[in-house]
Structure 1
Amino acid sequence: MGKKRIIQKTKEELIKEREQIDAAVGKEPRTGSGRHQVLGARIYISSSYNNTLMTLCDNKGNTISQVSAGEGSSRGYSAIRSLAARGLEIDRLKDMTPIPHNGCRRPKVRRV
């Protein structure tokens, strides 16, 4: 079994590495291009027991923004009411709840 060699960096290498780290940390974070006007869009609201997701898409289906309300959030109907109260014009609503059409067989009833 051989011995493991530990390579130690020189002072110049340590200084150069530190300058690279400082340069990377000092940069401003990149942000989006700012606000832009969207004439027609769709909002998809996915509401579960634990969370409410709202996705804003343009008419082509490209996602513009996405928001998660987190735990303890308002549910789907409350989210729609809050959007309408803020002046959003609602054209149509569609319930996309999955409904089984005689899919999987249900388990047998337990007999005790």
Structure 2
Amino acid sequence: MAKAIPKISSRRNLRTGSRRNLRIGSRKRLAEEVIGVIYVQASFNNTIVTVTDGGGQVLSCLSTGTFGFKARRKATPFAAQTVTANALRTVRDQGLKQAKVRIKGPGPGRDGALRAIRYGRIRLTTIEDITPLPHNGCRPPKKRRV
């Protein structure tokens, strides 16, 4: 009689520790690989700044809304500059030395966030615009009949 094959594809068998241990491990790795990626998503209503390490683990994520700005003040360059400076301060304390910048969106927070990144003590390797552009766009509405 053949032996039963143990089931190894269950979720419980794959995870070997808590998610917290994975995050702490990525912070230790950050000292070795000192390059990170700063993502700035600037919409017309809000600006979101996310800083990741080389492996893609999120080190800091802030938006103007969670930082305390309300309503129309969320979409200002000053709010984006303040939030970006605060996000960079936390990752600089963790040991981030240089970073790539990827900016997405048409909002007014683009310039303020980029200004704060330039004033921060992190060396920039590249600045890249990743705003999605349509190749052909949406289908236009049908012609109006009167």
TM bucket, shorter chain: 0.5 to 0.7
Question: What is the CA–CA distance in structure 1 between the aligned matches of 2:130 and 2:143, rounded to whole Å?
Answer: 30
More relative contact order in 1 or in 2 (CA 8 Å, sep 6+)?
A: 2
Task: State the percentage of identical aligned residues.
Answer: 37
Structure with greater strand percent: 2
Asked whether 1:72 is paired with 2:106, we answer no
SS in 2 for 1:102: coil
TM normalised by structure 1 equals: 0.59
Residue deviations 1:62-96, cap 9 Å, x none?
A: 11110111323420121011111122211111111
TM normalised by structure 2 equals: 0.47
Residue deviations 1:9-40, cap 9 Å, x none?
A: xxxxxxxxxxxxxxxxxxxxxxxx7x976522
1:105 alignment partner in structure 2: 139
1:57 alignment partner in structure 2: 52
SS in 2 for 1:90: strand
1:24 alignment partner in structure 2: none
Structure with the greater alpha carbon radius of gyration: 1
Structure with greater helix percent: 2
CA RMSD of aligned residues (A): 2.6
Gap regions ≥5 residues in structure 1: 1-32
Q: What one-letter code is carried by the residue in structure 2 that aligns with 1:72?
A: A
Moved over 2 A (4+): 35-38, 108-112
Gap regions ≥5 residues in structure 2: 1-23, 66-73, 78-108
Question: What is the CA–CA distance in structure 2 between the aligned matches of 1:110 and 1:98, rounded to whole Å?
Answer: 30
List aligned pairs for 1:2-17, cutoff 5 A: none
SS in 2 for 1:94: strand
Question: What is the CA–CA distance in structure 1 between the aligned matches of 2:123 and 2:145, rounded to whole Å?
Answer: 54
